[in-house]
Structure 1
Amino acid sequence: MAANGEGDWELVVRSNKKGKNQTIVNGKLSRDEKREFFQKAPKATFNGAIEITPIGKENRKPKSPKAGPESKKKGEKKGNSASHQPRTLDEAVARLSVGEMQSLLDVVMSRFLDSPLIWLKDLASYLNVRVSPVKQPDPVFKGQDPSYPASRMSNKVKQLLLSTLSQCSDTVLASFHKHCITSMVQEQIKGLSVAGYKLFLQILSIHRPHVGVVHLQSYCELRQSIQNQTPTCLSLLWAVGQPGINNFGIGLRIWMELMVPLIGLKNYSAYVVDYGSDVFSGGGGGATKEYGDVLGVREFFSILDFTWCSSGSLAKPVQRQLFALYPKVKTTAFTSSPEVVLRNFFPSFLRRLNMDAPEQLKIELKTCLVQCLMQDPHCWNVWSQLYVKHLPQSAILLKHLVVEMDMLSQSSKTNKGEFPKMFKCFSETNKQMAHKIDSVPGLRDATEATNELLSHLRKVKTIKKSSGSRFWSILVVVLIVGIIWDIKSAGSFYGSKVGLILERVGLIPYVEDFGRSLRIATIQAYRWCVYNIPFYYSKGCDLAEPYLLLVWSWFEVAVAYFWAALDSIVEYIPIIKESIEKRLPGLSTSVIYYTNTMLQYGNTTVIAVKDAAMPYFLEVHNYVSTKVLIGALAPERLHEYVIGSIEYLRLLILRIHSTLMDNFEQDTENIVSKSSL
Structure 2
Amino acid sequence: MAARASGGGRWEVVKKGRRPAAGSSNRGGGKGDRRALGEANGVWKFDLTPPIQTTSTLYELGFEKIMKRQNKEQVPPPAVEPKKPGNKKQPKKVSTVTNQNQKQGRFRSLEAALKALDVAALQKELDKSQSVFSGNPSVWLKDLASYLNYKLQAPLSEPTLSQHTHDYPYSLVSQELRRIIRGLLVKAAGSLELFFDHCLFTMLQELDKTPGESLHGYRICIQAILQEKPKIATMNLGKFLELLRSHQSRPAKCLTIMWAMGQAGFASLTEGLKVWLGIMMPVLGIKSLSPFAIAYLDRLLLMHPNLTKGFGMIGPKDFFPLLDFAYMPNNSLTPSVQEHLCQLYPRLKVLGFGAKPESTLHTFFPSFLSRATPSCPSEMKKELLSSLTECLTVDPLSASVWRQLYPKHLSQSSLLLDHLLKSQDRMPKKVWKSLRETIQSFRLTNQELQRKSNSNNQDVVTCDKACKALLQQAWGPRLPWTRLLLLVLVFAIGFLCHDFRSHGSFQASLSGQLLQSSGFLPAGQQVCAKLYSYGLQGYSWLEETLPAWGSHLLTMVRPSLQLAWTHTNATVSFLSAHCTSHLAWFGDTFTSFSQRSQLPDALSQLLQSLKELLLLLYHNMLLPLWHLLLEGLAQAQEHCHEACRGEVTWDCVKTQLSEAARWTWTCLQDITVALLDWALAMVSQQ
TM over 0.5: yes
Match of 1:138 in 2: 158
CA contact (8 A) 2:104 2:151 kept: no
Secondary structure at the residue paired with 1:467?
helix
- Tell me: CA distance 1:370–1:82, structure 2 relative to 1, closer, same or farther (3 Å): same
- Tell me: CA distance 1:428–1:17, structure 2 relative to 1, closer, same or farther (3 Å): farther
Give the alignment partner of residue 100 of structure 1, picking from 101, 117, 121: 121
Secondary structure at the residue paired with 1:266?
coil
Match of 1:27 in 2: none
Match of 1:425 in 2: 441
Aligned ranges 1:327-366 → 2 under 5 Å: 327-366=346-385
Match of 2:575 in 1: none
Match of 1:8 in 2: none
> What is the distance in 2 between the residues matched to 1:146 and 1:106?
31
Deviation at 1:51, TM superposition (A): 9.0
CA contact (8 A) 1:247 1:284 kept: no
TM-score by length of 1: 0.56
Match of 2:227 in 1: 206
> What is the distance in 2 between the residues matched to 1:296 and 1:470?
52
> What is the distance in 2 between the residues matched to 1:201 and 1:84?
24
Match of 2:404 in 1: 385
Deviation at 1:85, TM superposition (A): 2.2
CA contact (8 A) 1:395 1:449 kept: yes
Match of 1:239 in 2: 260
Deviation at 1:386, TM superposition (A): 0.6
> What is the distance in 1 between the residues matched to 2:379 and 2:144?
54
Residues 93-140 of structure 1 show CA distances to partners (whole Å, capped at 9, x for unaligned) of 33322122112211110111122121111111112222222x211211
Deviation at 1:215, TM superposition (A): 2.7
Deviation at 1:438, TM superposition (A): 5.0
Deviation at 1:297, TM superposition (A): 0.8
Are 2:323 and 1:304 equivalent residues in the alignment?
yes
Secondary structure at the residue paired with 2:156?
coil
CA contact (8 A) 1:437 1:443 kept: no
Secondary structure at the residue paired with 2:352?
helix
> What is the distance in 2 between the residues matched to 1:236 and 1:141?
13
Match of 2:481 in 1: 466
- Tell me: CA distance 1:202–1:58, structure 2 relative to 1, closer, same or farther (3 Å): farther
2:174 maps to amino acid: S
> What is the distance in 2 between the residues matched to 1:308 and 1:357?
10
Are 2:213 and 1:197 equivalent residues in the alignment?
no
CA contact (8 A) 2:4 2:76 kept: no
Deviation at 1:469, TM superposition (A): 7.4
- Tell me: CA distance 1:142–1:102, structure 2 relative to 1, closer, same or farther (3 Å): same
Match of 2:307 in 1: 286
Deviation at 1:189, TM superposition (A): 2.5
2:415 maps to amino acid: I
- Tell me: CA distance 1:249–1:16, structure 2 relative to 1, closer, same or farther (3 Å): farther
> What is the distance in 2 between the residues matched to 1:334 and 1:16?
84
> What is the distance in 1 between the residues matched to 2:289 and 2:95?
48
> What is the distance in 2 between the residues matched to 1:471 and 1:400?
35
CA contact (8 A) 1:189 1:232 kept: no
CA contact (8 A) 1:427 1:450 kept: yes
Deviation at 1:407, TM superposition (A): 2.4
Aligned ranges 1:37-116 → 2 under 5 Å: 84-116=105-137
Residues 60-109 of structure 1 show CA distances to partners (whole Å, capped at 9, x for unaligned) of 999xxxxx99689879x99xx77942133332233322122112211110
> What is the distance in 1 between the residues matched to 2:77 and 2:224?
43
Q: Which runs of 5+ in 2 are unaligned?
A: 16-65, 79-91, 488-541, 551-563, 573-686
Aligned ranges 1:441-480 → 2 under 5 Å: 441-459=458-476, 462-463=478-479, 465-468=480-483
Match of 2:273 in 1: 252
Deviation at 1:439, TM superposition (A): 4.6
> What is the distance in 2 between the residues matched to 1:332 and 1:59?
71
> What is the distance in 1 between the residues matched to 2:335 and 2:96?
57
Deviation at 1:310, TM superposition (A): 4.3
Deviation at 1:449, TM superposition (A): 0.6
Secondary structure at the residue paired with 2:478?
helix
> What is the distance in 1 between the residues matched to 2:76 and 2:462?
87
Residues 582-630 of structure 1 show CA distances to partners (whole Å, capped at 9, x for unaligned) of xxxxxxxxxxxxxxxxxxxxxxxxxxxxxxxxxxxxxxxxxxxxxxxxx
Structure number having the greater helix percentage? 1
1:269 maps to amino acid: S
Deviation at 1:284, TM superposition (A): 3.9
> What is the distance in 2 between the residues matched to 1:70 and 1:339?
87
Match of 2:415 in 1: 396
Aligned ranges 1:592-671 → 2 under 5 Å: none
- Tell me: CA distance 1:218–1:93, structure 2 relative to 1, closer, same or farther (3 Å): farther
> What is the distance in 1 between the residues matched to 2:76 and 2:484?
107
Q: What percent of counterpart residues are identical?
A: 29
1:174 maps to amino acid: E
Deviation at 1:207, TM superposition (A): 2.1
Are 2:334 and 1:318 equivalent residues in the alignment?
no
- Tell me: CA distance 1:389–1:74, structure 2 relative to 1, closer, same or farther (3 Å): same
- Tell me: CA distance 1:195–1:437, structure 2 relative to 1, closer, same or farther (3 Å): farther
- Tell me: CA distance 1:437–1:151, structure 2 relative to 1, closer, same or farther (3 Å): farther
Match of 2:623 in 1: none
Aligned ranges 1:498-513 → 2 under 5 Å: none
User: What is the RMSD computed on CA atoms of the aligned residues?
Assistant: 4.1
1:335 maps to amino acid: G
> What is the distance in 1 between the residues matched to 2:98 and 2:329?
59
Secondary structure at the residue paired with 1:105?
helix
1:392 maps to amino acid: S
- Tell me: CA distance 1:410–1:163, structure 2 relative to 1, closer, same or farther (3 Å): farther
Deviation at 1:283, TM superposition (A): 2.1
Deviation at 1:178, TM superposition (A): 1.7
Deviation at 1:317, TM superposition (A): 4.3
CA contact (8 A) 1:209 1:243 kept: yes
Deviation at 1:287, TM superposition (A): 4.0
Match of 2:288 in 1: 267
CA contact (8 A) 2:325 2:331 kept: no
- Tell me: CA distance 1:131–1:72, structure 2 relative to 1, closer, same or farther (3 Å): same
Deviation at 1:322, TM superposition (A): 1.3
Deviation at 1:360, TM superposition (A): 0.8
Deviation at 1:199, TM superposition (A): 1.4
CA contact (8 A) 2:325 2:333 kept: no
Pick the structure with greater CA Rg.
2
Aligned ranges 1:540-551 → 2 under 5 Å: none
> What is the distance in 2 between the residues matched to 1:300 and 1:69?
77
Q: Which runs of 5+ in 1 are unaligned?
A: 1-14, 23-31, 33-49, 63-67, 473-527, 537-664
> What is the distance in 2 between the residues matched to 1:447 and 1:61?
103
1:342 maps to amino acid: L
Deviation at 1:392, TM superposition (A): 0.8
CA contact (8 A) 1:391 1:441 kept: no
Match of 1:156 in 2: 176
- Tell me: CA distance 1:119–1:378, structure 2 relative to 1, closer, same or farther (3 Å): same
- Tell me: CA distance 1:119–1:82, structure 2 relative to 1, closer, same or farther (3 Å): closer
CA contact (8 A) 1:260 1:272 kept: yes
Deviation at 1:429, TM superposition (A): 1.3
> What is the distance in 1 between the residues matched to 2:486 and 2:229?
60
Aligned residue pairs: how many? 425
1:447 maps to amino acid: D
Deviation at 1:235, TM superposition (A): 1.2
Secondary structure at the residue paired with 1:346?
helix
Give the alignment partner of residue 220 of structure 1, picking from 227, 231, 241: 241
> What is the distance in 2 between the residues matched to 1:21 and 1:61?
8
